[in-house]
Chain A
Amino acid sequence: MRIFVSGLRKLVGRPASFVTLGLLAGLLALIIIATATVATRDSSTAAQARALVLVQFPGAYDLILEFILGLGGLFAVIYGAAIAGSEWGWGTLKNAVARGESRTRYLLLSFGAVAVMVAVGLVIAFVVGIIAAIIGANIAGVPTTGLTDAATLNRMPAQFVRGWFAVVEEASLGFAIATLARSQLAGIGAGIAFYFGETFARLFLPDIVKYLPFAVAQASLNTGASGSVGGGPGGGGAGITSLPADTALVLVAVWLIGSLLVAVVFTERAEITG
């Protein structure tokens, strides 16, 4: 418990936490408000209607969540890699091991703190997105009556938890890659390459890619509920095969556990020389 709380304290004070959240929430707010502003000047009614979808509630809830979970997946890979890689690069894992701390416990509890931070980050980004959508709706002159749509609000927590679980799985990938690389930069670089590599590969190997971590993360969100999210890398984009949401959710858990297992086994066996 001490390590978990310590992990949270370290993450709260860490610039990477602010930068990642700031980028995610900032981009989201910028896109929503810019879209709403431009939509009011668009002469094409069809184009205007498409753009205003972003600020029309209750549909905006799903679009905001989709944006957060899509881009958030990439950010989660980077964040997970930064946290795990720095423990090697800064030599702080060495300190803990030399004090008799269990490598496995240290690693897993540190990742537990990352998972909590991911949840907090997603909530904050979601709230920022909703506020931006309300502002955008006001700019575009769109009513916000759907803001309190009970059906959407009732389904949102479950959708959010599934999304969080998927993003945590993506963070675990970055975490494992950086652990194997013993480096922040190498971990971040490899994580980004994996993310875009999977996106690219789905054009040629859709039947294989649908089982890969980013694809299953997105597919796990396609619950069939009205407006359910998806469509990121390897996910439920047009013409791309994806797994049923519940099957994908199981595979998300498999990838999450597998990533952490790889990180733990590697760390337990590693000779710490840095």
Chain B
Amino acid sequence: MTAGTDLALATRDLRKSYGKRVALAGLDLSVPSGVVYGFLGPNGAGKTTTMRLLTGLLHPDSGSIQLLGSPFARGDRRRLFRVGALIESPSFYPYLNGRQNLRELAATGAPVARNRVEELLELVGLRDRAKDKVSGYSLGMKQRLGIAGALLSDPQLLLLDEPANGLDPAGIVAMRETLRHLATIGKTVFVSSHLLAEIQVMADVVGIIAAGRLVREGTMQELLSSQQVVRVRLPLADADAALGVLTAIAPTTAAPDVDGKTTWLSVRTESHRAAEVNRVLAGAGLYASGIESGSDLEMLFLELTGGEPMPGSEGTFQGIGAGG
């Protein structure tokens, strides 16, 4: 992010350790106002610790936080009146019903408009179950109620930790539309998730964290354009020959064979060159059993966080040829 951009949230050199274990090792986040910001990282990278620091649940060892344009430190709890949060799993009184839980939550923090609870129950699709005790709710219903809780004070900044957890496909779509809508009306939505495909379709800006540090931040468009790839699936016996042929077009890597018979080769080139890749292979007497092309957040994520890419494992690609 460029300096001077209107930032809803920023951290500078944020550090946090639990005993000898370093959770955050100097995190620098810059979250512009009015966007959906996808906060990605592998397990243990420091996502939830970041969320807790941003909501005052934890205190940083050093570094600074700016929330909605003002510094946020101990004693600045009122800054959170304009922030809504869902941290880790949603937490409620199990013996109260959904409506009562929202009403009691509304008694804390910033004052809440009288009809706000009913509006939110409607928004998250829980009005019909509002009289049921939360102990009887499914994980997805609790998650919806948690999102409603985060929206209680009509916050300017929304912090959501894995909000799609437990939601069914319809629930995920509805949540995505709600969050996109909030961004269009000027709210800032900060979402941590391990669902890369979900972030890819929802976020405007992405930050990737690994080992407590931000390893990449930028608009989704920037990140994906740097990460275009064509993948081809070939018999294992043809892999070496294909690697030689395709490297002439663009840098190519081979993934470990999955089934012992075939393997995936990844050609780092624009996705519209898939047909050309196929033609070159055919010209060399090598025939692909599957071709995919696209911009892959997953591959970027795995590269940056030290994981191994698994071609074909997640649906962020467009299949072109007959799948193997």
Residues of A whose CB lies within 8 Å of any CB of B are 2-3, 5-6, 9-10, 13-15, 86, 90-92, 94-102, 106, 271-273
Contacts and interface: CB of A to CB of B under 8 A. Distances in A.
A85 to B, nearest CB: 13
A98 B87 contact: yes
B92 A100 contact: no
A92 B104 CA distance: 10
Interface string B95-117: 11000100111011110000000
Nearest to A2: B107
B52 A273 contact: yes
Contacts of B77: 97, 100-102
Interface in B63-77: 77
A52 B18 CA distance: 63
B279 interface: no
Nearest to B86: A98
Given A91-B91, A92-B91, A94-B87, A100 B110 contact: yes
A71 to B, nearest CB: 25
Interface of B: 52, 55-59, 77-81, 83-85, 87-89, 91-96, 100, 103-105, 107-110, 149, 152-153
Nearest to B159: A98
Nearest to A89: B91
A134 B26 CA distance: 72
A3 B111 CA distance: 11
Given A10-B96, A13-B95, A95-B108, A100 B81 contact: yes
B85 A90 contact: no
Contact of B55 (A6, A9, A98): A98
A96 B108 contact: yes
A161 B144 CA distance: 45
B80 A99 contact: yes
B91 A6 contact: no
Nearest to B56: A97
A96 B109 contact: yes
B58 A90 contact: no
Nearest to A92: B91
Contacts of B59: 271
Contact of B95 (A2, A15, A96): A15
B67 to A, nearest CB: 10
B102 to A, nearest CB: 11
Contacts of B91: 90-92, 94-95
Contacts of B87: 94, 98
B132 to A, nearest CB: 14
Contacts of A272: 52, 57-58
Contacts of A86: 93
B93 A97 contact: no
Nearest to A9: B104
15 contacts: A2-B107, A3-B108, A14-B93, A90-B93, A92-B92, A96-B109, A97-B56, A97-B77, A99-B105, A99-B110, A99-B153, A100-B77, A102-B77, A271-B59, A272-B58
Contacts of A13: 95-96, 100
Q: Which of B59, B81, B93 has the most CB of A within 10 A?
A: B93
Q: Which of B93, B94, B95, B107 has the most CB of A within 10 A?
A: B107
A14 B94 CA distance: 10
A106 B153 CA distance: 18
Contacts of A106: 108
